[in-house]
Structure 1
């Protein structure tokens, strides 16, 4: 899994958008930035993998991502970013202000896991339990959110190290409950993490000019990026109806 390649693509996309909008980065500077990002992403890959495996071994269901949120906030604060916790219950938002003028770009990763039992025999395999539909269930990162979180943390690290030549502002959204909320929360505010984050105003201050999200995808070869503008990877549900008639 070439996670550094994904992180590198995120970083270059942010820098390209900021540079074009602010007219602050010429072709030579952009190429230098590409090389720097590639080197830093490669150097960070062991740490990225270690973080991903740690999160994978300790998965948490939607709206219960306490340990994951603490790990995320600790790493972001170590970078000197403005960090807000407790967003939409367990979400984390961080702001990086570049030294050069430019737009505001937001990057988003989800943090929650699924009520799935892990069967893989790995040193970092999940043995976690959780409550789902009022039952104790096995919990696993079966949809890649552990990778998403680790990738965005690494992206924040590389961008923070180059803030003196970074145009604009970058906001990092670490979203809870992407897979849906756990229904045992007593106060009834069991809504999806993205909706709750928006309701709490994370996209108002600072207001992003563009938002990017990523998702690992087993059907795409490692090191290759597939993308499209606008909405993508929307959830869908099936409904089956049986009608019994009378003659």
Structure 2
């Protein structure tokens, strides 16, 4: 965890502390690290949970979302917790997975479970990432999009990392921070038209030669129909 602390110290050195530090009482250095990672938009402290808040489900993994037409891009936010879904693109801040990533996330998650159980952000982030990353295909897609850089060597270990952390975590369904994103992703993945478009793009329009072949086939079909129509018209005039 020392390397992670050192990197944090370097990132905030020579800069004025953000306003979010000035408005909060820092309990511990882990709390300082957590506060540094807080997303731009926080929960509304005046919001009263309702039954509808708990009516949602986790989305499928990255691979399935990709098959449903979801694209993935790096969110350039300062906080790794700022995940957004807009325009069919899931924006996730870049995460460097290295030797100390697991210990840092474990410490942050444990701290939140003890002191911010009803206002968790890191725990909710880890849970969402665990759902999104379950297979090697999921990891490879995030690697290719630049969202994850893996310094562990084995890509399977990335999925295992989040699985390990989530074993000891709990969450409140009615207060889950990424509820809106989960609903959006589920709705997108269940829309047949999105899957059809994705299938066409991935299987038939993934290279220029395929596109040319499809266009040629369409032109040939049109010419055949026109020729047939002309033949029928000419036959009727006889």
TM (normalized to structure 1)? 0.26
Of Structure 1 and Structure 2, the greater helix share is in: 2
Bigger-Rg structure (1/2): 2
| Structure with higher strand content | 1
